[in-house]
């Protein structure tokens, strides 16, 4: 070693306080969970896709085989055009509704908004079941549909209609947010210059909601292409990627090709997610300016028009729900429509939904409890502590990743990864624990973003003040951050609970006879031709979700009341 | 000056390729009230955060009370801090906020309560223990934040633009109180501000910063009367900047074609191009005695009414093309019936003219 050279001036790094060290360890813990239950399963899919049945490396052969199989290519094409069509229908419909909610003075806004949330409370297949009763082989309005030139509901028409219904609330939520953030001053300036209403719409409203529209379209497209429940129920012989994965993996046990299709499903999701991420960044930049909230003026003819439109949509939503309710109580559709509990009895007893229901509740409760804890701690460590180097960037990325991973793909990854006998976590396979973890990871990003938003709203200097007062961060977390963020926590827990209750795709590969959840049991009932029981059970899930939502709302009301004392 | 209470030596901060601070050297004596003053982006807040350990310097050394704290985390330094946003914990009462740092030190409850009472009295809000921050005005909240920062009797008080979020009147009032409090407690204090009036009003010494370097350190009077650099002259207070040429015999001529030489003590080479800096109040309209130097006749071009005084813009052949701003009292203007277009004699104070090349 050459001792004569002068030492380079050392870069100063602050000594790490023991409490910061603690934060780093906790962050590493979050990273480990996300690596084991998100990154590793996805990697397993990737590996599986380039191996043959005996685990030998065969390069892209599986992909080439796939490209040479016309049936599978047909599914790819089907998936693409159906998703595109649903997007083109849903987004304008939802935009109209969002426009009415934010820019008109029509009545019953809260009620109408509430009705549009119905599809979120039940598994998505409820709309498909309902459509079967309306337009199926023995549907009440089958003749109307045929008069429109649609031969039968099974297949693309059914999928498109059911998906529009199921995705309407998702698109609506994004568009309402986009339209709410309008700056009233722009409209005042336009009015001062005597601008016509149409010109205002094209030059202010639409450009302002541009990013919301892009975002809504991307989300709709992705959710449709990755949805499994609806095509399974009403798809008939019309194959799409999501049902292909299921058939390849469960039916033919062809894991390699299943992995290829899963990657195909992952591709559009990752793509839309990346675009959406970019778009969102631009939108936040736009919002940073101080805007004056827009308040709509009363315009009788316009308000009446909007009211009529929203009532129509709400009526269609209620018709979907109503038909499912009606059919679930009908003794023997369509011959004997008298009231009976038969379907509920069949479903709960023979369909094993009763045990499934308990499993569902357990899973939903677990997801809500542990998911909220993990998400909030993770978001807190990311937002409010510092140091930790690449760990921080890694956790940030892993927290956003689940948004881009369809439930079906995640579930498949879990099979590949946890069903591997060499995996020390192998004992988790088929357990309710693993299904709970899978749900947590599947819905992680939305919870994460809610937590981040809540945390960002807090003064950025709380932690600095605490450090100057020599109070370790976890005490401030407990005494200040957590109490202030309780409403957001309740929100996250509700989101986790309802989604875990209704999810199918995330757990369809993971259940065993003992751990079958209600949503899966419903799918099995429908497969066995017992549509009435399936409808009944889907409604039970919807009821449970509604009760849970009401309970969570009550909880947040209590929290609000407690925090009222320190709010101005 | 090794007796300095806070010693900054060679502090440098890089954000990527951008250098936010370079070679900052500063000694602050015990009990001193120092203001970091500068435009936004000059690095003053970064420097404060480095002193607080909230930001790590790229290079350099910090000593506090003879202890090297360069690499210590915030919790191992000894300071209280107040932010522009108050950063009060909204879900805790005023008493709990003030006692936040005491509780952690296992100060007995009764003693902590007594300290809280004492501090609230000190900041002029006795009896507000049970209130929540949201029930207080901005100025009141900032006082609570001050009490919280002082509760643990830190050796150093850091104030990061503490008054910027407040209304003008509250701001003036509170800055006087902070000053009085600081005198009373004798706590060494650093306040970051972009408001030169604030800095002039409260500081023992002002550190004027720009583009990551210290431009000038001095008492408020020094900084105002004898600015070290053109930037300081320009940033602190209002000032006329007039291009000029030096001529023999301690005179300048305003370039390009000023009609008369002005007396101005300088030791530059004749013929060099310079800029003369002169504050509006250093242009006198009275008293002017016969035989005074630097007197010229000017014509009023514009009068800007600013309350008790007016800022008057004048022109004159003596100034060449240039205009000069002059502060004249309202009384003087009306007494002399001076309006736009009127002529009056003015005198430039030679000893107040600053020359920068």
Phi, psi dihedrals of residue A205, rounded to the nearest 5°: -65, -55
Q: How many CB atoms are located within 10 Å of the residue A7 CB?
A: 5
The confidence score (pLDDT) of residue A282 equals 67
pLDDT confidence of A38, banded at 50, 70, 90?
very high
Spell out which residues of chain B touch residue A470, defining contact as CB-CB under 8 Å: 75, 101, 104-105, 152
Q: What is the pLDDT of residues B38-51, one digit of tens each?
A: 999 999 999 999 99
Cβ pair A467:B135 closer than 8 A: no
Q: Is the CB of B89 less than 8 angstroms away from the CB of A567?
A: no
Would the CB atoms of A462 and B57 count as touching at under 8 Å? no
Segment A230-248 shows an average pLDDT of 90
Cβ-Cβ contacts under 8 Å, B87 against chain A: 459, 461-462, 464-465
Name chain B contacts of A19, Cβ cutoff 8 Å. Answer: 75
CB contact set of A523 (below 8 Å; sequence gap of 6+) = A125, A229, A232, A233, A504, A508, A534
B256 upstream amide cis, omega within 30 of 0:
yes
User: What's the whole-number mean pLDDT along residues A253-278?
Assistant: 84
- The confidence score (pLDDT) of residue A246 equals 87
* pLDDT at A284 > cutoff 60: no
Spatial separation of the C-alpha atoms in residues B134 and B125, rounded to whole Å:
15
Cα separations in angstroms, B351 against B228, B266, B281, B293, B312 = 15, 10, 13, 12, 22
**Residue A297 pLDDT greater than 90, yes or no:** no
Q: How far apart are CA A204 and CA A195, in angstroms?
A: 11
**Secondary structure (3-state) at A192:** helix
| A147 at B interface, C-beta within 8 A | no
C-beta atoms of B91 and A11 within 8 A: no
Question: Distance between CA atoms of B3 and B6, rounded to whole angstroms?
Answer: 9
Collect all residues with Cβ–Cβ distance below 8 Å to A427 and sequence separation of at least 6.
none
Query: Which tokens in the block code for residue B213?
Result: 């370097």
- Above 90 in pLDDT, residue A340? no
Task: Find out whether A258 and A248 touch, Cβ atoms under 8 Å.
Answer: yes
A341: which strand partners?
none
Mutate: best of A11, A469, A478, A485, partner B, most B CBs <10 A: A469
Is the pLDDT at B30 greater than 50, yes or no?
yes
| pLDDT tens digits, one per residue of B218-269 | 999 999 999 999 999 999 989 999 999 998 888 899 988 888 899 988 778 8
User: Pairing state of beta strands B283-284 and B295-305?
Assistant: unpaired
- B317 touches A at CB < 8 Å: no
pLDDT tens per residue, range A70-99: 888 899 999 999 999 999 999 999 999 999
**ipTM of this predicted complex?**
0.85
Count of other CB atoms within 10 angstroms of residue A35: 14
Contact A464 B86 (CB under 8 A): no
A211 touches A178 (CB < 8 A):
yes
Tell me the torsion sign for CA atoms A203, A206, A209, A210.
Answer: negative
DSSP state of A513: G
Q: How far is A380 from chain B (nearest CA, A)?
A: 17
Name residues 168-197 of chain B within 8 A of A (Cβ).
none
Nearest residue of B to residue A568 by CA position? B134
Contact in structure between B278 and B242 (CB atoms under 8 Å): yes
Give the pair of three-digit tokens for residue B200: 């002039």
The pairs formed by B63-66 with CB atoms below 8 angstroms and a separation of 24 or more are B63/B4, B63/B6, B63/B7, B63/B9, B64/B5, B64/B6, B64/B7, B64/B155, B64/B156, B65/B5, B65/B155
pLDDT digits (tens, 9 = 90+) for A451-475: 998 898 888 899 999 999 999 999 9
B164 shares contact with chain A (CB less than 8 Å): no
Whether A461 has its CB under 8 Å from any CB of chain B: the answer is: yes
**B35 contacts B208 by C-beta, under 8 angstroms:** no
Residue B1 has pLDDT above 70, yes or no: no
pLDDT at residue A288, rounded to an integer = 46
For the cut 60, the answer to whether the pLDDT of residue A128 exceeds it is yes
> Could you give the angle at the alpha carbon of A305 between the alpha carbons of A299 and A310, nearest 5°?
120
The pLDDT of A360-374, averaged and rounded, is: 96
pLDDT in tens, B183-204: 999 999 999 999 999 999 999 9
Residues of B within 8 A of A24 (CB-CB) are none
Token code pair at residue A86:
């649903």
Q: What is the pLDDT of residue B64?
A: 95
Q: Model confidence over B108-123: pLDDT tens digits? A: 999 999 999 999 999 9
More confident residue, A290 or A377: A377
All residues at 6 or more sequence positions from B328 whose CB lies less than 8 Å from its CB, including other chains: B285, B309, B310, B312, B338
Residues B168 and B163: their CA atoms lie apart, in Å, by: 9
Chain A positions in Cβ-Cβ contact with residue B77 (cut-off 8 Å):
468
* Spatial contact of B267 and B276, defined as CB atoms under 8 Å apart: no
Q: Both tokens of residue B355?
A: 């020359």
pTM: 0.86
Q: Tokens at residue A554, please?
A: 């009550």
Phi, psi for residue A76 in degrees, rounded to 5: -60, -50
C-alpha distance from B235 to closest chain A C-alpha (Å): 28
The whole-number pLDDT of residue A283 equals 61
Classified as helix, coil or strand, B200 is: helix
- Looking at residues B74-85, what average pLDDT do you find? 93
Phi then psi dihedrals of residue A462, to 5 deg: -55, -45
Determine contact: B75 vs chain A, CB below 8 A: yes
Q: Tell me, what DSSP letter sits at residue B214?
A: E
At residue A559 the predicted structure's pLDDT band, cuts being 50, 70 and 90, is confident
Kindly identify which residue of chain B lies nearest to residue A386, measuring between CA atoms. B54
Instruction: Determine contact, residues A522/A541, Cβ cutoff 8 Å.
Output: yes
Residues of B in contact with A471 (CB under 8 A): 100-101, 104
Gap from B9 CA to chain A (nearest CA, Å): 13
Q: What is the pLDDT of residues B153-176, one digit of tens each?
A: 999 999 999 999 899 999 999 999
| Greatest CA separation for chain B | 78
Say what the pLDDT of residue B81 is: 96
Instruction: Indicate whether A285 pLDDT > 60.
Output: no
Nearest partner of A359 among A546, A515, A525, judged by Cα: A515
B301-319 average pLDDT score: 92
- pLDDT cut 70: percent of chain A above it: 96
Which residue in A has a C-alpha nearest to residue B132's C-alpha? Answer: A566
Measure A65 CA to nearest chain B CA, in Å: 49
Query: Smallest CA–CA separation between B128 and chain A, in Å?
Result: 14
Are A134 and A146 a contacting pair, CB within 8 Å? Answer: no
Residue A337 pLDDT class (50, 70, 90 cuts): confident
Give the pLDDT score at A5: 43
Interstrand relation of B188-193 and B156-160 (parallel, antiparallel or unpaired): parallel
Residue A4 pLDDT level (bands cut at 50, 70, 90): very low
Probe site for chain B from A15, A19, A468, A475 (most B CB atoms < 10 A): A468
What's residue A289's pLDDT?
A: 47
Angle at B281 between CA B279 and CA B286, to 5 degrees: 135
Are the Cβ atoms of B86 and A459 closer than 8 angstroms? yes
Confidence check: pLDDT of A536 > 50: yes
User: Measured between CA atoms, how close is A311 to chain B, in angstroms?
Assistant: 42
Q: Give A383→chain B minimum CA distance, Å.
A: 15
Measure B208 CA to nearest chain A CA, in Å. 25
CB contact under 8 A, B132 and A565: yes
Q: Is A18 on the interface with B (CB under 8 A)?
A: no
- Is the distance from CB of A352 to CB of A516 less than 8 angstroms? yes
Mean pLDDT of chain A: 87
Q: In what order do the strands lie in the sheet with B6-15?
A: B18-28, B6-15, B59-64, B67-68
- Contact at CB, A15 and B71, closer than 8 angstroms: yes
The CA-based dihedral angle spanning residues A188, A190, A194, A195, taken in that order and rounded to the nearest 10 degrees: -130
Q: State how far the Cα of B39 lies from the Cα of B20, in Å rounded to an integer.
A: 13
């Amino acid at each position: 070693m050459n001792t004569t050279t002068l030492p380079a001036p050392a870069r100063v790094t602050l000594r790490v306080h023991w409490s910061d060290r603690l934060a780093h360890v906790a962050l590493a813990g979050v990273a480990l969970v996300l690596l084991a239950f998100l990154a590793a399963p996805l990697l397993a899919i990737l590996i599986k896709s380039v191996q043959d049945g005996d685990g030998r490396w065969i390069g892209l052969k599986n992909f080439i085989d796939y490209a040479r199989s016309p049936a599978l290519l047909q599914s790819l094409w089907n998936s693409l055009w159906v998703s595109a069509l649903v997007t083109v229908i849903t987004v304008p419909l939802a935009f109209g509704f969002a426009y009415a909610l934010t820019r008109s003075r029509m009545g019953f806004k809260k009620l109408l908004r509430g009705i549009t949330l119905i599809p979120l409370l039940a598994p998505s297949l409820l709309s498909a079941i309902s459509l079967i009763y309306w337009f199926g082989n023995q549907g009440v309005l089958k003749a109307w549909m045929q008069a429109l030139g649609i031969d039968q509901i099974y297949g693309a028409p059914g999928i498109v209609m059911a998906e529009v219904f199921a995705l309407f609330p998702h698109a609506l939520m994004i568009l309402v947010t986009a339209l709410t953030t309008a700056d009233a001053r722009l409209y005042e300036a336009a009015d001062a210059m005597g601008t016509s209403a149409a010109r205002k719409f094209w030059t202010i409203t639409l450009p302002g909601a541009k990013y919301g529209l892009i975002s809504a379209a991307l989300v709709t497209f992705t959710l449709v292409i990755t949805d499994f429940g609806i095509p399974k129920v009403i798809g008939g012989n019309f194959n799409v990627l999501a049902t292909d994965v299921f058939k390849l993996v469960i039916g033919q046990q062809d894991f390699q090709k299943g992995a290829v299709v899963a990657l195909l499903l992952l591709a559009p999701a990752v793509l839309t997610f990346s675009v959406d991420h970019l778009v969102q960044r631009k939108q936040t930049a736009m919002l940073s300016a101080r805007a004056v909230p827009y308040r709509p003026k009363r315009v009788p003819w316009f308000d009446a028009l909007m009211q009529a439109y929203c009532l129509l949509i709400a009526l269609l939503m209620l018709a979907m729900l109503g038909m499912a309710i009606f059919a679930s109580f009908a003794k023997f559709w369509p011959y004997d429509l008298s009231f009976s509990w038969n379907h509920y009895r069949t479903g709960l007893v023979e369909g094993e939904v009763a045990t499934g229901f308990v499993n569902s509740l357990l899973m939903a409760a677990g997801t809500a409890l542990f998911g909220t804890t993990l998400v909030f701690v993770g978001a807190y460590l990311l937002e409010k502590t510092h140091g930790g180097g690449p760990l921080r960037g890694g956790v940030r990325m892993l927290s956003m990743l689940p948004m881009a991973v369809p439930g079906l793909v995640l579930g498949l990854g879990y099979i590949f990864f946890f069903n591997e006998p060499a995996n020390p976590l192998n004992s988790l396979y088929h357990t309710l624990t693993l299904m709970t973890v899978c749900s947590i990871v599947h819905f992680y990003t939305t919870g994460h973003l809610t937590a981040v938003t809540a945390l960002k709203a807090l003064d950025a200097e709380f932690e600095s003040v605490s450090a100057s007062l020599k109070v370790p961060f976890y005490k401030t977390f407990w005494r200040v951050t957590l109490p202030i963020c309780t409403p957001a926590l309740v929100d996250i827990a509700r989101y986790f609970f309802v989604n875990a209750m209704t999810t199918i795709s995330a757990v369809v590969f993971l259940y065993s006879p003992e751990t079958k959840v209600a949503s899966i049991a419903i799918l099995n009932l429908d497969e066995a031709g017992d549509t009435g029981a399936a409808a009944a059970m889907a409604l039970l899930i919807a009821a449970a979700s509604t009760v849970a939502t009401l309970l969570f709302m009550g909880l947040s009301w209590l929290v609000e009341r407690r925090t009222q004392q320190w709010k101005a | 000056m090794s007796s300095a209470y806070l010693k900054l030596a060679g502090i440098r901060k890089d954000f990527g390729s951008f250098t936010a601070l370079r070679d900052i050297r500063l000694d602050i004596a015990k009990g001193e009230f120092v203001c970091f003053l500068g435009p936004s982006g000059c690095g003053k807040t970064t420097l404060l955060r480095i002193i607080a350990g909230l930001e790590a310097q790229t290079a350099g050394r910090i000593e506090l009370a003879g202890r090297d704290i360069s690499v210590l985390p915030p919790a191992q330094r000894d300071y209280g801090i107040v932010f522009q946003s108050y950063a009060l914990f909204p879900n805790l009462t005023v008493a709990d906020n003030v006692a936040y740092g005491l509780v952690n030190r296992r100060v007995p409850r009764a003693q902590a309560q007594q300290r809280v009472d004492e501090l609230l009295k000190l900041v002029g809000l006795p009896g507000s223990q049970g209130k929540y921050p949201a029930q207080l005005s901005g100025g009141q909240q900032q006082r609570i934040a001050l009490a919280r920062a002082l509760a643990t009797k830190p050796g150093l008080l850091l104030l990061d633009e503490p008054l910027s979020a407040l209304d003008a009147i509250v701001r003036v009032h509170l800055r006087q109180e902070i000053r009085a409090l600081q005198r009373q407690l004798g706590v060494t204090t650093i306040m970051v501000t972009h408001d030169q009036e604030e800095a002039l009003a409260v500081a023992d010494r002002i550190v004027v910063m720009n583009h990551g370097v210290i431009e000038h350190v001095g008492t408020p009077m020094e900084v105002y009367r004898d600015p070290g650099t053109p930037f300081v002259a320009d940033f602190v207070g209002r000032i006329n900047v007039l291009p000029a040429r030096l001529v023999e015999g301690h005179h300048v001529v305003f370039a390009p074609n000023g009609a008369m030489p002005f007396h101005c003590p300088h030791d530059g080479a004749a013929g060099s191009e310079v800029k003369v800096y002169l504050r509006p109040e250093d242009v006198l309209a009275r008293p002017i005695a016969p035989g005074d130097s630097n007197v010229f006749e000017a014509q009023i071009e514009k009068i800007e009414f600013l309350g008790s005084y007016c800022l008057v813009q004048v022109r004159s052949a003596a100034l060449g093309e240039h205009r000069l701003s002059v502060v004249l009292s309202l009384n003087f203007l009306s007494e002399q019936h001076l309006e736009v277009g009127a002529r009056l004699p003015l005198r430039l104070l030679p000893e107040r003219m600053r020359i920068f090349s």
